[in-house]
Each structure stands twice: as C-alpha cells, then as structure tokens.
Amino acid sequence: MTEEKGIYETQTQGEKLTQGTLEPFASPNYHPPKESDVRLLLRIAGLTGAEAGKLVGVDARSVRRWCAPPDTSNHRPIPYSAWRLLLIEAGLVPGKQNIQEP
C-alpha cells in the first residue's frame, strides 16, 4: 500500500501546512512552523517520531517536544535544519535550491 506524493503536496485530509513554512530560511516569506505543522508533516512523510528523530539526529523525545502545544512547559520549536530535512524527506521541497541573496 504505497502512494506517491506530489513534490509540492502540502495537504492531507483537509489540513494544510502554514503558508510560508516551505520557503527557504533566507526568504522574507518564511514563517517558522507551528507544532501542528510538525505533526502534519510527519503524517505526510509517513514517519513516526522515532523515525523522524533518527533522520535528523535527535531522540524521539525531542520530536515529541516539537509537537507539544506551545502553552506547555515541554514545548520546543523545531530547528530550521531539522524542519528542512523533514520537508526534503517528505518530497515537499527539492533538496537543493538556488539561494539568492536578499
């Protein structure tokens, strides 16, 4: 039971990633992902927290913290580098882009 994802598919079951989260960090249109974006991205990529952690070099607890509601004491924002690697793994952004200086 496999499905191919389109390179810019950002929606699953009516949910969408927050606008600007697919942009490169240097883009003025970039917006850091919310915890709901992290959870949605894991579903799109078909990754568990442990698998995502192994992919980006952290433990599953760190991934749980990225997915925790922001009003809880254990919430941590996902680092941009981890976010970008997960986007690449999910096939939502290309692995290499031409980065233009602002």
- CB within 8 A of 49, min separation 6: which ones? 42, 60, 63, 64, 67
Q: Can you list the domains of the chain with their CATH numbers?
A: 34-92 (1.10.260)
pLDDT at position 87 is 96
For residues 24 and 69, the answer to whether their CB atoms sit within 8 Å is: no
Query: What is the pLDDT tens value at each position of the chain, 102 positions in all?
Result: 333 433 344 555 678 999 999 999 999 999 999 999 999 999 999 999 999 999 999 999 999 999 999 999 999 999 999 999 999 999 999 987 666 665
Q: How far apart are CA 65 and CA 38, in angstroms?
A: 10
pLDDT at position 9 is 44
